[in-house]
């Protein structure tokens, strides 16, 4: 649950990340051709690197 809240807040706070995620979702949707598993799988590489970015964002918020 904590990740979901952090993810939401990070996207609200980071315009670049928000635009990246929207693009990833559009691309994944087009590639999935209605298959939800393919849609989720297509987004995984972006999420793999997003976890570290969110952790850094969260740590920075604590410091400030």
Task: State yes or no: pLDDT of 24 exceeds 90.
Answer: yes
Burial of 15 (0-12, 13-18, 19+ CB in 10 A): exposed
Task: State yes or no: pLDDT of 64 exceeds 80.
Answer: no
**pLDDT value at position 60?**
92
Contact between 39 and 30 (Cβ < 8 Å): no
Task: State yes or no: pLDDT of 1 exceeds 90.
Answer: no
Confidence band for 7, pLDDT divided at 50, 70 and 90: very high
**Hey, what are 64's tokens?**
């400030």
């Amino acid at each position: 649950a904590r990740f979901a809240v952090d993810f939401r807040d990070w996207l609200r706070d980071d315009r670049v990340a928000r635009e990246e995620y929207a693009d990833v979702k559009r691309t994944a949707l087009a590639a999935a051709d209605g298959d939800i598993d393919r849609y989720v799988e297509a987004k995984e590489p972006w999420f793999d690197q997003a976890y570290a970015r969110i952790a850094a964002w969260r740590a920075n918020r604590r410091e400030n």
